[in-house]
A = this chain, B = another copy of it.
C-alpha cells in the first residue's frame, strides 16, 4: 500500500518557480537552475524537507524539448540533474518528477498533435524514471487532452505512480473548458493514483472546485493552491494570502476530504509548516468509492445516476443510405451536422459505428470521425466496435470518458476488449449474448450479465462502469418484450449494474413502429431502465421521455414538462360532446 492510500495526510512541497526568482540573481529559465544553481535549488528543497514535506518535487516543470530547446539544454541532462538534486536534498523523502504543460496548444485548438506531445512527455518520463524518481507529478494542466497524453506517456513508459493536477479559473473551468467532475472521470479512468487541483487561484477561491473534485473522486485527492493572487510591489511579485490564511483554507479542504496537501506559486516552506500545524490532530476523511457512472466529453459530463440517459442511434450509418454515403465519402461536415442534430434533439450520448462500410478502414474512419466531432461539439460519444485495434485508437483519440458499445458475454470478446476499455477508463455496454447466442429468458439474461460483471471485475473495471444491454428482440419474431424489461430490473436489483435498452428493436418488421416504440419506452422508464438507445429525431419518443420523467418522479411536479409543453402539439380531445 502506497503512503497516499493509507489513513493519514501527505505533505507536498510548495512553490519552486517563485522561490527561484527570489534567490537567483539573474533572469533564467527555471530549469537552467538544475545545471547552474544546484545549491540554491537544494537549499529550497531542504527547507521544504525541514518544513515537513513528504514529497519533494524536482525542478523539471518546463523540462520539455520545446522549452529546453530554446536555451540549448539537453532534456535528459536536466532531468537527471534535477532528480539528483532532489534526492540529495531529501534522501529520506519521496521524489516526484515534475511535468508541466508543454507550452504549446494541442489539436484541435492548436497545431501540436497527440503524437508530438506524447513524444515529449515520453522523453521526460523515461529520463526521470531512469534517474530514479519515485513518482510522476503531472501538474498545472489546463487542457484535458494534454493531461491525458501525459498520463498515457507516464503509464506506458514507466511503472511509477502517477499524480495529476489541473488548474481552474474562478468559474471552475480549465482553459479548454473542462470542469472538475469531468477531470475526475477522465483521470480516474486512466488509472492515475492521485488527482487534484493546483496553482489556479488562492485556496479560498478553490474551495468549491475542490469540493466538486472530492464529491466525484474515489481515489486520493491532492491540492496545491497558490498563495493567492500575484501583486506587483517594489518591482517584485508578491502573493496576497498569508501563510495563516492559506493554512486555514487547506485545513477546510482537509475536512472536506483532501489528504495530500501542498502549495504552488507564492508559497514557501513556512506555508507548508503552517499547513502541517493546521491539520495536526485531524482525522482524515474516510475515502469512499463513488458509485455513480460518469460519462463525458472533454468538458461536458453527466452522471447516469442523476438522469435517464438518452443515446442517439441517429448517426449509425446502417439503414440510412444518405448517412452511409456520407461516411463512405468521409463527408465530416455532414456527419458532424447529424451529431449536432442529435445533440440538439436531446441526446446525452451519440452512438458511433464505422464497421462494415464498403472500402473503408473501420479504425481510420472512427478516429477521424471522433476528431471531427470533437473539433466542434462537446456531446459525449458512445464508440461501437468489436475490433480491439479500432477501440484502442478510438479511445486514445477520444478526449473524455467514452462509453464503449459492442461487448457481450462471450469469453473471447470480453478477454479481447475489456483490457482496452480498462486502460482508457471508458464505461462499457455489454449485450446478454454469449457463445450460445442471445439470452431469451430473464434468468439467462441475468446469468450472462453476472458472467460479464465477474469478468469485468477480473479485468479491474469498476462495476459502476459496466452497463448491461439485456437485448430487446423483435416482437414480430415472437420475442417476449416484457422479459427484457424484467431482466433489466433484475440486473439492476441483483447485480447493481446499469441497464441500457435499444428500444426500436422491439418493433422491427411491425407496422406502426412509432406507436410500439413509444409504448415500450414508457414501460422501460417505469421499470427504471437507465439508458435508452433510440431515434432522437422522433418527436413523440422524446415527448414520451418528458412525460415519463414526470411520472417517474425525475421531473417532480412536472415543472420541466410544463415549460416544454408550449412546443408540443395538444393531443387530448376532452370530453365535451355527447
Q: Shortest Cβ distance from A471 into chain B, in angstroms?
A: 15
Extra 14 A-B pairs, beta carbons < 8 Å, given A511-B561, A520-B522: A338-B578, A476-B557, A482-B551, A511-B565, A514-B571, A514-B572, A515-B543, A515-B546, A516-B550, A519-B548, A519-B551, A523-B525, A535-B575, A539-B573
Q: Is residue A55 contacting chain B, with contact meaning CB distance below 8 A?
A: no
Query: Which residues of chain A from 305 to 340 have a CB within 8 Å of any chain B CB?
Result: 313-314, 319-323, 326, 334, 337-338
Q: Which of B518, B539, B556 contacts A478 (CB 8 A)?
A: B556
- Which B residues touch A526, using CB under 8 A? 482, 485, 522-523, 526-527
Q: Is residue A510 contacting chain B, with contact meaning CB distance below 8 A?
A: yes
| Residue of A485, A511, A527, A577 with most partner-chain B CB within 10 A | A511
Q: Check A544/B562 contact, CB under 8 A, given A482-B553, A571-B514.
A: no
Interface mask (A119-134 → B, CB under 8 Å = 1, otherwise 0): 0000000000000000
Q: Check A512/B556 contact, CB under 8 A, given A520-B551, A576-B322, A577-B322.
A: no
Interface mask (A527-551 → B, CB under 8 Å = 1, otherwise 0): 1000000010111100110111011
Q: Is residue A208 contacting chain B, with contact meaning CB distance below 8 A?
A: no
Q: Shortest Cβ distance from A269 into chain B, in angstroms?
A: 58
Q: Is residue A282 contacting chain B, with contact meaning CB distance below 8 A?
A: no
- Which B residues touch A334, using CB under 8 A? 578
Q: Which of B337, B552, B571 contacts A482 (CB 8 A)?
A: B552
Q: Is the CB of A547 within 8 A of B516?
A: yes
17 contacts between A and B (CB under 8 A): A322-B576, A322-B577, A481-B550, A481-B551, A482-B553, A485-B526, A510-B562, A512-B565, A512-B570, A513-B572, A515-B543, A515-B546, A515-B547, A516-B547, A517-B572, A519-B547, A522-B522
Q: Which of B321, B322, B326, B512 contacts A571 (CB 8 A)?
A: B512
Q: Is residue A475 contacting chain B, with contact meaning CB distance below 8 A?
A: yes
Q: Is residue A506 contacting chain B, with contact meaning CB distance below 8 A?
A: yes
Interface mask (A475-519 → B, CB under 8 Å = 1, otherwise 0): 110101110010000000000000000000010001111111111
Q: Is residue A558 contacting chain B, with contact meaning CB distance below 8 A?
A: yes
- Which B residues touch A519, using CB under 8 A? 518, 522, 525, 544, 547-548, 551
Q: Is the CB of A320 within 8 A of B523?
A: no
Q: Is the CB of A561 within 8 A of B319?
A: no
Q: Is residue A1 contacting chain B, with contact meaning CB distance below 8 A?
A: no
Interface residue tally for chain A (C-beta within 8 Å)? 65
Q: Shortest Cβ distance from A514 into chain B, in angstroms?
A: 3
- Which B residues touch A338, using CB under 8 A? 578
Q: Is the CB of B515 within 8 A of A571?
A: yes
| Residue of A338, A506, A561 with most partner-chain B CB within 10 A | A561
**Closest Cβ neighbor of A485 among chain B residues:** B526
Q: Is the CB of A537 within 8 A of B575?
A: yes
| Residue of A337, A512, A523 with most partner-chain B CB within 10 A | A512
Q: Is the CB of A537 within 8 A of B506?
A: no
**Closest Cβ neighbor of A550 among chain B residues:** B475
Q: Which 3 A-B pairs have the closest CB atoms?
A: A514-B571, A522-B522, A523-B526
